[in-house]
Structures are given as structure tokens and as C-alpha cells.
Amino acid sequence: MTYEATIANVEKIISRLAEKDVPLDEAVRLYKEGMDGLSECRRELDKAKMMISEVSGDKDNE
């Protein structure tokens, strides 16, 4: 899944969790799915930052 698709999925999860009628087991499953998505986004951002640093010759990140 792309970064953008993952963010969109996390936003849907947040919207669903904000509803009052979410059963506990679904809320726990959605929370885990959302946290996994956020972790994936962080990894993607870290990779992008490293690539930008390499291209720009940023010696501080080596």
C-alpha cells in the first residue's frame, strides 16, 4: 500500500473509532490496525528522509 493510501486508511479508522457504537472487540482491532499503519508511515518517511539526505550529500545522517 502506498503512503497516501495508508494515511487514508488510518483516517477512516479514526473516523470509525470516533463513533459511539463501536463494539469493544472491533475498537481494539481497529486501534491495532491504525497503529500498524502509522508505524508503516513512519518507516516510509524515514526511508524518504534517508534518500533525500543521500542525494543532497547530507553528512550528518551517515
Residue 62, domain member (yes or no): no
pLDDT of 61 > 60? The answer is: no
**Per-residue model confidence as pLDDT tens digits over 16-47:** 999 999 999 999 999 999 999 999 999 999 99
Residue 19, domain member (yes or no): yes
Structural domain that includes position 37: 3-56
> What pLDDT does residue 60 have?
57
Exposed, middle or buried by CB within 10 Å (0-12, 13-18, 19+), for 32? exposed
- Structurally, the chain folds into a number of domains equal to 1
Tell me which residue of 24, 31, 25, 61 sits closest to 46, measured CA to CA.
Answer: 61
Its pTM stands at 0.79
* Spatial CB neighbours of 41, under 8 Å, sequence gap ≥ 6: 3, 6, 7, 10
> What pLDDT does residue 57 have?
85
Residue 30, domain member (yes or no): yes
